[in-house]
Amino acid sequence: MTVQPTIVEVLGGLGFDFAWLDLEHAGPSPYDSRALEGLTRAGDAAGIDPLVRLPSGDPPLVHKVLDAGFRSLLVPQIEEASEVRRAVAAARFDYDGAPGNRGVGAGRATRWGEEGTGDTDRRDDEVTVGCMIETRAAVENVQSILAVPGLDFVFVGPSDLSVAYGRPMDRSHPDVTAAAERVRDAALDADVPVGWVTDDTGDATARLQEGYGLLRVGDEVSAARSVLGDRLDALRET
């Protein structure tokens, strides 16, 4: 996870499939086109797909981020299927047999109009939209959420689930693990890729074996603390 273009390039060089950009809790305003364009350029330069966690699935925000050149969006705090459908429709020109709500823009997504706006099928195919499952309501409604046409993936948010179930930051509490397993099983049954958020390599390996196909495996702050913290501790011991 990062909000820095330089780190996006570094992650691409390391071979990651995507760079998690958190515009929900950090980073520039998602309405700041100049900042967003810098992040998309970094992704293009490094051959890595920026996965953008938005603050919400509001259509004007979805339009703004797509026009800046992003193609993979993650919508947080979803609780029911209608919210997912609204966000997915906002990302599509054609949606579920009817016109979508993306609208026509001439931003970086079309090289400022150079590529034209007519090839809507191709542009729809390039976009993926997922959502976070991180509340009690989302867990209860997970099957209807997964049935929304055009939902490409879901991510389990174990830390937020722990708060929702009254066990703040206790990701291993039985109530939290049961909720996560319910989401995972439902996603696998629906053939929707499911992701997990972790900073631990052992946990990530276990999740792959459990069927999770997408992993967010850390962020630049925790990585700095881990690597540089260990180095500093070693120097203090000399």
- Model confidence band, residue 221 (pLDDT cutoffs 50, 70, 90): confident
- Please state, for a pLDDT cut of 90, what percent of the chain lies above it: 80
Who wins on pLDDT, 50 or 104? 50
The fold of 5-237 is: TIM Barrel (3.20.20)
Contact 86, 53 (CB under 8 A): no
Mean pLDDT of the region 73-80: 97
205 has a pLDDT exceeding 80: yes
Residue 109 has a pLDDT of 66
161 has a pLDDT exceeding 70: yes
- Which two three-digit tokens encode residue 139? 């867990």
Annotated catalytic residues are 25
Local structure of residue 2 (DSSP, 8 states): B
Q: Tell me the DSSP string of 89-137.
A: HHT-SEETTEE-S-----SGGGTTTTT-S--HHHHHHH-EEEEEE-SHH
96-115 per-position pLDDT tens digit: 999 999 987 767 766 666 66
Q: In what order do the strands lie in the sheet with 49-53?
A: 18-22, 49-53, 72-75, 128-133, 153-156, 194-197, 214-216
92 has a pLDDT exceeding 80: yes
3-class SS of residue 151: coil
Q: In which residue are the tokens 């520039």 written?
A: 28
Who wins on pLDDT, 234 or 21? 21
Measure the CA–CA gap between 44 and 12, rounded to whole angstroms: 9
Residue 168 has a pLDDT of 96
- Model confidence band, residue 117 (pLDDT cutoffs 50, 70, 90): low
160 has a pLDDT exceeding 80: yes
Residue 33 has a pLDDT of 87
Contact 91, 100 (CB under 8 A): yes
Q: Where are the domains of the chain?
A: 5-237
Residue 229 has a pLDDT of 87
Residue 3 has a pLDDT of 92
Mean pLDDT of the region 202-211: 96
Residue 155 has a pLDDT of 98
Mean pLDDT of the chain: 93
134-153 per-position pLDDT tens digit: 999 999 999 999 999 999 99
What totals of helices (H) and strands (E) does the chain contain, helices first?
A: 11, 9
- Which two three-digit tokens encode residue 169? 């930051």
Which long-range contacts link 23-26 to residues 24+ away (Cβ below 8 Å)? 23/52, 23/53, 23/54, 23/55, 23/65, 24/53, 24/54, 24/55, 24/76
